[in-house]
C-alpha cells in the first residue's frame, strides 16, 4: 500500500499525530483570501492571450455527465464532442477527459480508444460517499477494469467533520492502492466542510495520502468551486511541492460555466501555483456546459461574430 510523503511520515503515524499536524497548519485569513481571489479575478487579458487561454481551458475540461438518465448513446455523443469539440474547426483542442459513472466507463473507453482523451470515472459511492469501505473499493476496481484512466473519489465527510482524520487518510490510501495505473482525484465537497481551515486540512490529508489531484466538489451541492476555495487549494499544492518535491493537480468542479469564469481560474493558477500547473496534467475543470461557451467565444475571436444557436450541441 502506498505510504505518505517521507517528509511527513511522522504526521500520519497515529490519529493524534495527524490531528496535531492538521491543527498546526497556519490559520486562514478568510477576508484576505477572498479579497485576493476577487482581485485576481478582475485582471484583464489581451486578445492574443485570450485566444491562448480559451484553447488551454478547452484542453483542461473533464467533460462530464453524471445523471441518473445517462445512456450509452449520450456517453458516446459526449465522447465524440470531447474528441472533436468543433467539427467546423479541426484546430480546436480536444478536452482532457470524459467523466462518467463506473457503469458507463466501458462505453466511454470504447468510444475514446486511441483519441488521447482520458476516461475519468467517479467512484466510492459518489456523490455522498455513504457506503462501507469494501463496497467503495469494489466500485473503484470495477471502474478501473472497465477502462477508467482516472478515478474521482469522494472523501467521507462525516468522518472528517467528526474529527476522524486518520480514517479519511486511510480510506484514500486504500482507494489509491486499488487505482493501479489510474490517477486519483480526491473530492472534498468543499461546500460541506464549513470553514476554510477545514478545506486546508482536507487538502493536506489528500496530498499526504497520495492523491494525484485534489478536487473541490461533486457539482451536486449548492456551493461548489469558488475562486476562494480553489485559491486555498492551489496554495496547498504549491506549499506541498516546495516541501516534498511532489507536484499534485487541482480540479475545481461545479458552477464554472463561462469563458470569463474559466479565465479567472487560470489567472488564479498562474499567480498562485505558477506556470507549471498551466497544463491539463495538473489542472482540470469539472464541467458540462463550460465547453459550449468556450467554443462560442473562440469562434467570436476568429470570425468577429457570434455563431447561431445551433453552432454548439446542447448537452
Asked whether 213 and 251 are in contact (CB, 8 A), the reply is yes
Is residue 127 reached through a cis peptide bond, with omega within 30 degrees of 0 on the bond before it?
A: yes
The catalytically annotated residue of 118, 176, 185, 215 is: 215
CA 281 to chain centroid, in Å, comes to 11
CA 302 to chain centroid, in Å, comes to 29
Whole-number Å distance between alpha carbons of 134 and 201 = 25
The catalytically annotated residue of 152, 156, 261, 293 is: 152
Q: What 3 state SS string does 121-141 have?
A: EEECCCCCCCCCHHHHHHHHH
Length of the chain: 315
- Coil, strand, or helix at residue 39? helix
The catalytically annotated residue of 136, 176, 185, 251 is: 251
Among residues 120, 123, 108, which one has the least CA distance to residue 73? Answer: 108
Q: Which residue has the cell 438518465?
A: 69
Q: How many CA atoms, within 13 angstroms, populate the side-chain half-sphere of residue 257?
A: 5
Q: How many CA atoms, within 13 angstroms, populate the side-chain half-sphere of residue 291?
A: 33
Tell me, yes or no, if 152 is annotated catalytic. Answer: yes
What Cα–Cα distance (Å) separates residue 252 from each residue in 142, 206, 234?
Answer: 25, 15, 10
CA-CA-CA-CA torsion for 156, 160, 161, 164, nearest 10 degrees?
120
Residue numbers annotated as active site? 152, 215, 251
Amino acid at each position: 500500500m502506498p505510504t505518505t510523503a517521507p517528509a511527513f511520515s511522522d504526521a500520519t503515524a497515529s490519529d493524534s499525530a495527524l490531528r496535531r499536524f492538521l491543527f498546526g497548519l497556519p490559520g486562514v485569513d478568510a477576508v484576505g483570501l477572498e479579497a485576493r481571489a476577487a482581485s485576481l479575478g478582475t485582471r484583464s487579458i489581451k486578445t492574443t492571450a485570450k485566444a491562448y487561454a480559451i484553447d488551454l481551458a478547452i484542453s483542461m475540461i473533464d467533460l462530464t455527465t453524471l445523471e441518473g438518465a445517462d445512456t450509452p448513446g449520450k456517453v458516446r455523443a459526449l465522447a465524440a464532442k470531447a474528441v472533436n469539440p468543433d467539427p467546423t474547426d479541426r484546430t480546436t483542442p480536444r478536452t482532457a477527459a470524459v467523466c462518467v459513472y463506473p457503469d458507463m466507463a466501458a462505453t466511454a473507453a470504447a468510444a475514446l480508444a486511441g483519441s488521447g482523451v482520458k476516461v475519468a470515472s467517479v467512484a466510492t459511492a459518489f456523490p455522498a460517499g455513504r457506503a462501507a469501505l469494501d463496497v467503495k473499493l469494489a466500485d473503484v476496481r470495477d471502474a478501473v477494469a472497465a477502462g477508467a484512466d482516472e478515478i474521482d473519489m469522494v472523501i467521507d465527510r462525516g468522518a472528517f467533520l467528526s474529527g476522524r482524520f486518520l480514517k479519511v487518510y486511510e480510506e484514500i490510501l486504500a482507494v489509491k492502492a486499488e487505482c493501479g495505473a489510474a490517477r486519483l482525484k480526491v473530492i472534498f465537497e468543499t461546500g460541506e466542510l464549513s470553514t476554510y481551515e477545514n478545506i486546508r486540512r482536507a487538502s493536506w490529508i489528500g496530498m499526504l495520502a497520495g492523491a494525484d489531484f485534489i478536487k473541490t466538489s461533486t457539482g451536486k451541492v449548492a456551493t461548489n468551486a469558488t475562486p476562494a476555495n480553489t485559491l486555498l487549494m492551489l496554495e496547498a499544492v504549491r506549499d506541498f511541492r516546495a516541501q516534498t518535491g511532489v507536484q499534485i493537480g487541482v480540479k475545481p468542479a461545479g458552477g464554472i460555466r463561462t469563458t470569463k469564469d474559466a479565465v479567472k481560474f487560470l489567472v488564479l493558477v498562474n499567480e498562485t501555483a505558477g506556470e507549471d500547473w498551466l497544463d491539463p496534467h495538473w489542472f482540470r475543470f469539472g464541467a458540462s456546459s463550460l465547453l459550449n461557451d468556450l467554443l462560442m467565444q473562440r469562434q467570436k475571436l476568429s470570425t468577429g461574430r457570434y455563431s447561431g444557436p445551433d453552432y454548439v450541441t446542447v448537452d
